[in-house]
Amino acid sequence: MFFILLVCMLFNALTCSNAFSQWQKLNTTGSVPHLKNASAIYDPSGNRMIIYGGRNAAGVPTDGIYSLNLNTNTWSQITPLTGFNPAPRFTQNAFYEPNDNAMIIWSGQGSAATLYSDVWSFSFVSNNWSQLWPDGNSSGPARRYGTASVYEPVTKRITTFAGFTAAGRFEDTWTFDITGSQWIDRTNNPHPQKRCLHAGVYAADLGKFVIYAGQDDNGVRDDIWQCTLSSFVWSDITPAVKPSPRFWNSIIYYNGGNILIFGGLSQTPKNDMWKFRMGSNLWEQVNQGVTIPGARWGHTGIYIPSQDRMIIFGGEGDSLYSDTWQYSNVSVIGIGPISNVTPHEFKLEQNYPNPFNPVTKIKFATPLSPPEGGKFVKLSISDLTGREISVLVNGVLKADEYEIEFDGSSLPSGVYFYRLTSGTFTQTRKMILVK
């Protein structure tokens, strides 16, 4: 048994530097068609992935709604009960609205290159669509497709940047207030260059809207920008070392300033994975191990924080895909072992520097793992009231010493606590943020 464990640990060390993060193809039941350029959301009320629209195998825009039950891995189609529906489309943006348990969509392209600027909501309670903003209203943004947008549930506001319109690619920033049904042009300088088919994520814990890459008038882009949503000020955070240019890639965000991209298209479809750390403006390529989804573009991706896993669906590449994959233990990606010594006990060291502004590093250790795998570890940040404000690690780690970076740029100066827990073990230390 010890020999088998030793071989397994050696294999993991050689093939996967990201502890127990790994791809797994889900064996799903039910029927879902091939789709590319669809949109996806996670519905926590039903623990399901919702897919809307996209283009089918013939390249025709669709208006189908498909649900993947993540408890049973079963696909089913959702049919609206009554009323009017949005026109079939692709590259629309979709968001989950937790206050109303609904899916919100905006923009996209339909048949005969028709562009849209309407906003719709699909209620998972009544199973019906309702229109929140009419198409072509001159007091809103121009009709477009290939935009990138985020949604803030607290303010019930959409923020969107750029896209392709009847006049070509744009470089404008707009917000839409769901409650007041009002668009406001937030464009200011500096801002990212005009583009379409770029990707965007909402860094809720940092109050940022981040866009990545896309296509401009001269080709494919490789830059990354962030927008502070309280002021709509954009800043270029592109480092010297970065992934190759692309568009139509999947992108997710998880707390602590971490962005993960997979696949995309440039000259050819891609299946590489990269992680971006906002705190240090650093891209690093992820070693995905042996089993990897086929190279693709136009696939959808979601992240489920409570389960620490990313799920991707569909797309096109070497073939037309209707497969579903999950990448587990996302939060441990890039947490690098920093020694060759196997610890005999849990250990949480003092962060450094301390006090810090705004980035600090935390070292911790996990002891020898049981034969069946690693230990489930959680490393979290809380404020003086005990409110958890960030989770840095929430997954399985093998025995080693680790180091992770924490970015406090969105937090006010003050005292914070970081806590390491695993089973019955708990250790807490104090750190001070001074700005």
> Which segment of 80-84, 143-147, 372-376, 386-390 scores lowest on mean pLDDT?
372-376
> Band of the pLDDT at 399, cuts 50, 70, 90?
confident
> Band of the pLDDT at 340, cuts 50, 70, 90?
low
Mean pLDDT, to the nearest integer, of 178-186? 97
Max Cα distance, the chain (Å): 71
In the sheet that holds 359-366, the strands lie side by side as: 347-348, 359-366, 400-407
Answer whether residue 337 shows pLDDT above 70.
no
Each domain of the chain, given as residue ranges in start order, spans 19-332, 347-433
106 within 8 A of 93, measured Cβ to Cβ: yes
> Given this model, what pLDDT does residue 1 score?
34
Instruction: Label residue 353 exposed, middle or buried (CB < 10 Å: 0-12, 13-18, 19+).
Output: exposed
Which residues contact residue 212 at a Cβ distance below 8 angstroms, ignoring those fewer than 6 apart? 198, 199, 200, 223, 224, 249, 251, 259, 261, 276
Which three-class secondary structure string do you get for 100-158?
CCEEEEECCECHHHCEECCEEEEECCCCEEEEEECCCCCCCCCCEECCEEEEECCCCEE
Answer whether residue 16 shows pLDDT above 80.
no
> What is the average pLDDT score of the chain?
91
> Given this model, what pLDDT does residue 15 score?
32
Cα separation, 173 vs 162, whole angstroms: 7
382 within 8 A of 417, measured Cβ to Cβ: yes
Write out pLDDT tens, residues 342-355: 788 899 999 999 99
99 within 8 A of 138, measured Cβ to Cβ: no
> Band of the pLDDT at 2, cuts 50, 70, 90?
very low
Residue (of 272, 255, 254, 276) closest to 263 by Cα position: 272
Write out pLDDT tens, residues 107-121: 999 999 999 999 999
> Band of the pLDDT at 164, cuts 50, 70, 90?
very high
> Given this model, what pLDDT does residue 3 score?
32
> Band of the pLDDT at 253, cuts 50, 70, 90?
very high
Which CATH class for the 19-332 domain? Answer: mainly beta
Answer whether residue 371 shows pLDDT above 70.
no
Model pTM score: 0.84
In the sheet that holds 93-97, the strands lie side by side as: 93-97, 102-106, 119-123, 128-133
Question: What is each CA distance from 215 to 149, 231, 260, in whole angstroms?
Answer: 16, 26, 19
Q: Which CATH superfamily is domain 347-433 in?
A: Macroglobulin (MG2) domain (2.60.40.1930)
> Band of the pLDDT at 374, cuts 50, 70, 90?
low
What are the b/e assignments for 205-237, b being 16+ CB within 10 Å? bbbbbbbbbbbbeeebbebbbbbebeebebeee
Answer whether residue 12 shows pLDDT above 90.
no
Mean pLDDT, to the nearest integer, of 28-40? 97
Write out pLDDT tens, residues 282-331: 899 998 888 999 999 999 999 999 899 999 999 999 889 999 999 998 98
Write out pLDDT tens, residues 258-292: 999 999 999 999 999 999 988 888 899 998 888 99
> Given this model, what pLDDT does residue 336 score?
64
Write out pLDDT tens, residues 205-252: 999 999 999 999 999 999 999 999 999 999 999 999 999 999 999 999
